[in-house]
DNA sequence: CGCATAATTCGATGACTGTCTAATCAAGCG
DNA sequence: CGCTTGATTAGACAGTCATCGAATTATGCG
């Protein structure tokens, strides 16, 4: 995970890749993009992400979202994965740790799924 | 995978779930939605999907897209996964098998990632 | 300091997954 | 029919992953 992690961190943050319909992804683009989809590809992580994203200011304390049916260490593990994928940011404020959605990430992923740019057959 | 598969097949096809930012997903919604993200969470699958989606009419023969650096059985395996997740449809026409993007799926996933509906803190 | 609470890290384990080769199925052609 | 080519299925194996309980770190409080 660490090499990929470096690549994710080195991204220009905004526009990783073209829409999936625009052209076929290169191997490297696919690797980077798949890592984000993979992060959302677990039910527990998706619920955690949704909980954070739907909280006021897209920010939530771990204690607010930890009730997803798994142990707290597991919650922590998943939050770490989401953070490594570049989907969440975390910050400690006193007693609690807050996670929030990386601002541009939703738009970027949404752009990937933009439909309708595939050419018609003759 | 089979029980999930049934649920996916039983979906009203169009609108599985609200935007991730709108409210937190239920456990069941998360399970269904995560299955789709998971399907795109592998580099090879993402490239295959992108190849199909960017082909004319969002449709391609296996022989057109099989060059992704893994053996053909592996390609077939991944295409099956994408199909099971509801992202692709397949049809045999004579000698070749064609895969195409399930029409409404891109829009549906895009909707999940719609940003900006999270309420502001007071 | 000593204690309580929030959160993460550690180590282990069972399950899942991506990949391959070999075998099989499907269609077209002579 | 048999043969060729396209594609899937079967079976095996190595690596990854989600999960847990226990231990650890971090903060605040009296």
- Determine whether the interchain pair A50/B118 forms a contact, defined as Cβ–Cβ distance below 8 Å: no
H/E element holding B48?
A: helix B43-53
- Determine whether the interchain pair A40/B54 forms a contact, defined as Cβ–Cβ distance below 8 Å: no
B77 strand C contact, CB < 7 Å: yes
Residue A25 near residue B45 (C-beta atoms within 8 A) = no
Residue B28 near residue B41 (C-beta atoms within 8 A) = no
Which residue segments constitute the domains of chain A, with CATH numbers given? 35-115 (1.10.10.10)
- B3-20: pLDDT as tens digits: 555 555 555 444 678 899
- B34-43: pLDDT as tens digits: 999 999 999 9
B42 three-state secondary structure: coil
Which of B115, B119, B121 shows the shortest CA–CA distance to B20? B115
Distance (Å, whole) CA A46 – CA A20:
21
A6 has pLDDT over 70: no
A1 has pLDDT over 50: no
Put the strands of the sheet holding A96-101 in their side by side order.
A59-61, A96-101, A88-93
- B44-70: pLDDT as tens digits: 999 999 999 999 999 999 999 999 999
Partner residue facing B41 (CB), from A41, A56, A117 = A41
pLDDT in the model for residue B16: 73
Which of A13, A31, A18, A39 shows the shortest CA–CA distance to A104? A13
Interchain CB contact of A55 with B (< 8 Å): yes
Q: Which residues of A touch B122 (CB under 8 A)?
A: 56
Q: Give strand C nucleotides closer than 7 A to any protein Cβ.
A: 5-11, 17-23, 26-28
A5 has pLDDT over 70: no
């Amino acid at each position: 995970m660490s090499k990929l992690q470096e690549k994710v961190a080195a991204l220009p943050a905004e526009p990783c890749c073209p829409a999936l319909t625009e052209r076929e992804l290169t191997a490297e683009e696919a690797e980077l993009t798949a890592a984000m989809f993979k992060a959302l590809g677990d039910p527990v992580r998706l619920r955690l992400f949704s909980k954070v994203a739907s909280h006021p200011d897209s920010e939530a304390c771990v204690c607010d979202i930890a009730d997803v049916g798994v142990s707290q260490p597991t919650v922590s593990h998943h939050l770490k994965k989401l953070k490594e994928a570049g989907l969440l940011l975390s910050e400690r404020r006193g007693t609690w740790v807050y996670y929030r959605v990386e601002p541009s990430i939703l738009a970027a992923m949404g752009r990937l799924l933009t439909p309708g740019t595939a050419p018609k057959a003759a």
